[in-house]
Homo-oligomer: A and B are copies of this chain.
Amino acid sequence: MRKYRNAEIQEVTVQDKFLSPRMAANRQVTVPYSYKRCQETGRIDAFKLDWKEGMPNRPHMYWDSDVAKVLEGMAYVAAGKSDPELEKTADALIDLIVSAQQPDGYLNCYFTVVQPEQRWKNLTTNHELYCAGHLIEAAVAYFQSTGKRKLLDAMCRYADYIDSIFGPEENKLKGYCGHEEIELALVRLYRVTGNQRYLNLAKNFVDQRGQEPNYFLEDQADSREWLINLQAHKPVREQDKAEGHAVRAVYLYSAMADIAAETGDGSLLDACNKIWNNLTSKRMYVTGGIGSTKSGESFTVDYDLPNDSAYAETCADIGLVMFASRMFNLTGDGKFMDVLERALYNGLLAGISLEGDKFFYANPLEVTGHFIEAGHVKAVRQPWFGCSCCPTNLCRFLPVMGSYLYSVGADELMINIYAAGKAEFNLVTGRVKMRVESNYPWDGDISIRFQEAASGKFTMGLRVPVWSPEITVKVNGQGLNNAIENGYVKINREWRKGDEIEVKLAMPVTALHCHPEVSCNSGRIALQRGPLVYCLESIDNKAPLGSIIIPEQQDFKLKAIDSLTPGTIAITGRAFTENPEASADLYFSGVPAKAETTFTAIPYCLWQNRGPSEMAVWIRTV
């Protein structure tokens, strides 16, 4: 049913100034660092299955997933660059993991050594199938990168065992995991093995979810209110709002889209579309962040998007990219890519320091002085977490960013994001090889040159991002007036070696307003240029940032800023600061004095890379 697939990571070489350094930091720092933290904390040794009560490093029920995600990251890094040392480490880790597999195929450290009597007893909270899903994804990734089957074969045995336990049949458990992930993983396993049982099992988990009698209520959930946090309050096809724990939610929706793609199930796609509309039109931060509250790390209600207490978990941004990508590949509608780009270039990359060794779990859109002092949202990135899902998710996400730049159809090639680099694909019409030159996202001038193009017509799709008010396209110097369809300019022709497409995207500074129901943002603007949402940091501006007023009607200026990643462009302009000698009174009367000043805004995804700072995305305007 799907129109496109993502590019494979081997097909794309990212060579820009924006994503490439993040990928390099991931390869050089985040992956080895995370592997080391997994070692130090006992997460890897746990697979030796020799832990006993009283020993340090008691395994935790999430731990297998952390190791699996780091391994998945290693697999992608290995795919991109030959690295025998890394592969040796990965092979040894795989040997250890596989050694922990039980004769029946089961593989879970915690439920083998700590609570063996709890196997499959508490799907509501125990993350057992979630861990299995991440191990399966790592196995698929490692097989695809290296051709080595050891972990893949072990995971097929595990999946076969899971399939013997769960299903709609009389003698099987009707359960499904409190934290969705196994569904996605099984679709990947199906795609790589061609074994239909894995797709059926994924579909079963999706189909069972929220059915009555509710499995979780007979398991560990003590109230119906709990169910919504696990997207199990009603059958998935009846769901029409983004609800509950945000990461779980977008993993489920991604799996629903996957199963729709594989089975042609229109009812699942309908539900995905309804949920998408609710999510993006009422429950998503301008940074692409989702999940408004720490309580349950979850969605709340429409238009509830507080800035300072935002949860907007980094993992949820990753999940939103996954969901958006699947929806685009199913429908070809550029609106999905607009959200994908928003989440990727803003909320997601804000989750990790430029050096690659510090992380935000939650991504607030405002940090004020009192939050630097103390508070439930961290004002500086942390080196690791007890539940370290975000760092390990970044390990496996950052190396595959190139796969989202292109979507590939039978005789169509869509360029979604114009990051500089090289790409090559085998379309039905033959091999295509191209080079993209750009300074994206800092500049909208793009050149795409074909270095190889086998004969035969095919369609090039060129995305027209929602943020660009104007696009011009030339092919070999000749202007085109092709209509924009679903957010893409499509050019169908016989492409030849040496052909050049020039794309010019207007990239003005835009002052975004927010729907007036989001009361905290009314009277405020967020600056955006290209895909990047900007913020103010007190490092560049006078605190408190709530005193700064940026007139929206002005000629904003661009300024290179060297203290961040090379090439960074800041936005500057006129501003007022109110009440510069702030009264110490909590409440006071009298019109506050205003003083003229200037402001400097930096991309949100780069904030807190120069020490602690107050920060705000939504700034008062006049």
Residue among B281, B304, B370, B579 making CB contact with A584, cutoff 8 Å: B281
What's the Cα separation between A91 and B523 when bound, in Å? 59
In the bound complex, residues from chain B placing their C-beta under 8 Å from that of A622 are 622
Asked whether any CB of chain B lies closer than 8 Å to the CB of A226, the reply is no
Total copies of the chain? 2
In the bound complex, residues from chain B placing their C-beta under 8 Å from that of A481 are none
B281 lies within 8 A of A585 (CB) = yes
Which residues of chain A from 277 to 297 have a CB within 8 Å of any chain B CB? 280-282, 284, 286, 295
Residue among B368, B369, B552, B587 making CB contact with A591, cutoff 8 Å: B552
What's the Cα separation between A511 and B545 when bound, in Å? 22
Per-residue contact bits, chain A 362-383, to B (CB 8 Å; 1 contact, 0 not): 0000101111011110000000
What's the Cα separation between A592 and B281 when bound, in Å? 18
Per-residue contact bits, chain A 518-540, to B (CB 8 Å; 1 contact, 0 not): 11111100100000000000000
B371 lies within 8 A of A513 (CB) = no
In the bound complex, residues from chain B placing their C-beta under 8 Å from that of A218 are none
In the bound complex, residues from chain B placing their C-beta under 8 Å from that of A586 are 280-282, 284, 514-515, 518
Contacts A295-B295, A306-B309, A591-B553 given; does A301 touch B374 at CB 8 Å:
yes
What's the Cα separation between A612 and B597 when bound, in Å? 43
A516 lies within 8 A of B582 (CB) = yes
Asked whether any CB of chain B lies closer than 8 Å to the CB of A183, the reply is no
In the bound complex, residues from chain B placing their C-beta under 8 Å from that of A516 are 544, 546-547, 578-579, 582
What's the Cα separation between A103 and B310 when bound, in Å? 55
What's the Cα separation between A368 and B589 when bound, in Å? 26
Residue among B309, B368, B526, B587 making CB contact with A512, cutoff 8 Å: B587
CB distance from A340 to the nearest CB of B (A): 16
In the bound complex, residues from chain B placing their C-beta under 8 Å from that of A546 are 516-523
Asked whether any CB of chain B lies closer than 8 Å to the CB of A45, the reply is no
A510 lies within 8 A of B589 (CB) = yes
What's the Cα separation between A368 and B521 when bound, in Å? 13
In the bound complex, residues from chain B placing their C-beta under 8 Å from that of A306 are 306, 308-309
What's the Cα separation between A514 and B588 when bound, in Å? 6
Which residues of chain A from 99 to 154 have a CB within 8 Å of any chain B CB? none
What's the Cα separation between A537 and B306 when bound, in Å? 21
CB distance from A335 to the nearest CB of B (A): 12
In the bound complex, residues from chain B placing their C-beta under 8 Å from that of A519 are 308, 366, 368, 544-546, 616
Which residues of chain A from 12 to 70 have a CB within 8 Å of any chain B CB? none
In the bound complex, residues from chain B placing their C-beta under 8 Å from that of A583 are 515
Nearest 3 pairs between A and B by C-beta? A522-B546, A519-B546, A516-B547
15 contacts between A and B (CB under 8 A): A300-B375, A300-B376, A301-B375, A513-B579, A513-B587, A513-B588, A513-B592, A515-B588, A516-B544, A516-B579, A516-B582, A518-B586, A523-B546, A523-B620, A526-B587
